[in-house]
Amino acid sequence: MIIFQDVRKVYGKDKTKKVEALKGINLEVKKGEIFGVIGFSGAGKSTLIRCVNLLERPTSGKVLVNGIDLQSLPKRKLREERKKIGMIFQQFNLLHAKTVFANVAMPLVLQGKPKDEIKKKVMELLRFVGLEDKAHQYPEQLSGGQKQRVGIARALATDPHILLCDEATSALDPDTTRSILRLLKRVRDELGITILMITHEMNVIRDICDKVAVIDGGVIVEQGSVLDVFTDPQTPIAKNFVRTVLNDELPDSVKRLIAEKRDDQEHHIYRLLFKGDATNDPLLSTVAKKFPIDLSVYNGMVTEIQGSPFGNLIVGFNGPKETVDEAIRYIQSQNVTVKEVE
Ligand SMILES: Nc1ncnc2c1ncn2[C@@H]1O[C@H](COP(=O)(O)OP(=O)(O)OP(=O)(O)O)[C@@H](O)[C@H]1O
Ligand SMILES: [Mg+2]
């Protein structure tokens, strides 16, 4: 649906002022996905997303949208293709002198659609975002969450195939963020719209994205399914982002216990990571029955990522090394990831 092929973007011509915002981006967003790109401020997120609808033109490389290279299109054709790409912004970008109705109607008015058609479409969209009773209010009479709902309704007015979200929830409180994320999920589930979103908030990625890419200094340093990146982040920056929402930092008392046991040849401590169905299996009791060892759970947490359970347990295995190794191999065969405790 959206393919980035070695996309580079350099701002500024003057050598001393040149900024290389994107340094060869390769990404593929599939139809119907909610794809999140996360990174710190200045990483190149906005530049990346703006290259999709050509609010920024790549310096080199290609962005294909539905197989079409928008850069190759003449102006009129480009305008047509852009209608299929909706966009929402952190600061909502509403017209303050116009009512909610007029804001949502704007893209249709620009297209010269007949009045009754516009009215029908706008009311349908306002119903979809839950604002049918606010049609005649002005943006300043709305809360941040309501303003973003207007932004979403306006972005959907041209029946886009793709919705681009540039930090769509960054100006909102946590509860409002959740309600906007639920709405975006409905945009995908009920309207079949592919969503590319950029954010610096890992909870946004956890709550609605299917795939995630981590961008740092204009480079994608890691990407994969949200479950994989959350449960087994590879790069330090991805680990940091994951830590912001899955606090797997051990309490000091547990750290002390682990340190005390470190020299005990009969005691081995591991971190077990359970994903999906594995979370429901009575694995530890099976292991205790199957192998002549004792188990102690030092710390544990179960959370939900993308509607799928994810468990993280710190377990002490008491017994001879060979037997413990055997038990660990058995655990690994049950689709549970086993790691050394750092
Ligand atoms: N129009 C521009 N002219 C010159 N440099 C720019 C321009 N827009 C962005 N940059 C630079 O490009 C780099 C990437 O900027 P970008 O806005 O894509 O980052 P971002 O990840 O969206 O950051 P934030 O989270 O703060 O919005 C930054 O170093 C920025 O200063
Ligand atoms: Mg930005």
Residue 200 near residue 14 (C-beta atoms within 8 A): no
Q: Quick one: pLDDT at residue 283?
A: 86
Instruction: Determine the Cα–Cα distance for residues 253 and 8; give it in Å rounded to an integer.
Output: 49
Q: Quick one: pLDDT at residue 152?
A: 97
Instruction: Determine the Cα–Cα distance for residues 21 and 85; give it in Å rounded to an integer.
Output: 23
Instruction: Determine the Cα–Cα distance for residues 211 and 40; give it in Å rounded to an integer.
Output: 18
Looking at the chain, list the stretches that DSSP marks H as alpha helix, in order from N- to C-terminal side: 45-50, 75-82, 100-110, 115-129, 144-156, 174-191, 202-208, 226-231, 236-245, 252-261, 283-290, 321-333
Residue 160 near residue 191 (C-beta atoms within 8 A): no
Q: What residue's CA is closest to ligand 1, atom 17?
A: 46
Residue 247 above 80 pLDDT? no
Confidence of residue 279 (pLDDT cuts 50, 70, 90): low
Residue 135 near residue 126 (C-beta atoms within 8 A): yes
Q: Express each pLDDT in 305-328 by its tens digit.
A: 877 888 888 899 999 999 999 999
Ligand nearest to the CA of 216: 1
Ligand nearest to the CA of 218: 1
Amino acid identity at 89: F
The residues that bridge with 305 in the sheet, in sequence order, are: 308
Q: What are the DSSP calls for 237-260, one per residue?
A: HHHHHHHHHS--PPPHHHHHHHHH
Ligand 1 atom at minimal distance to the Cα of residue 215: 21
Q: Express each pLDDT in 108-147 by its tens digit.
A: 999 999 999 999 999 999 999 999 999 999 999 999 999 9
Q: Is the CB of 19 under 6 A from ligand 1?
A: yes
The residues that bridge with 23 in the sheet, in sequence order, are: 8
How much of the chain exceeds pLDDT 90, in percent? 74
Average pLDDT, the chain: 92
Query: Could you give the 3-state DSSP secondary structure of residue 183?
Result: helix
**55 CA to centre of ligand 1 in angstroms:** 13
Residue 195 near residue 201 (C-beta atoms within 8 A): no
Q: At what angle do helices 144-156 and 115-129 cross, to 10 degrees?
A: 130
Confidence of residue 280 (pLDDT cuts 50, 70, 90): low
**Hey, which of 19, 51, 200, 215 would you mutate to test ligand 1's pocket, going by the most ligand atoms within 8 Å of its Cβ?**
19
Instruction: Determine the Cα–Cα distance for residues 203 and 168; give it in Å rounded to an integer.
Output: 13
Instruction: Determine the Cα–Cα distance for residues 42 and 218; give it in Å rounded to an integer.
Output: 9
**103 CA to centre of ligand 2 in angstroms:** 23
Q: Is the CB of 117 under 6 A from ligand 1?
A: no
Alpha-carbon torsion angle 220, 221, 226, 229, nearest 10: 180
As its CATH architecture, domain 252-340 has: 2-Layer Sandwich (3.30)
Q: Express each pLDDT in 197-221 by its tens digit.
A: 999 999 999 999 999 999 999 999 9
What does the domain layout of the chain look like in residue ranges? 2-245, 252-340
Ligand 1 atom at minimal distance to the Cα of residue 50: 18
Q: Is the CB of 25 under 6 A from ligand 1?
A: no
Would you state the structure tokens that stand for residue 4, as one six-digit string?
């980035």
Assign a CATH topology to domain 2-245.
Rossmann fold (3.40.50)
Q: Is the CB of 50 under 6 A from ligand 1?
A: no
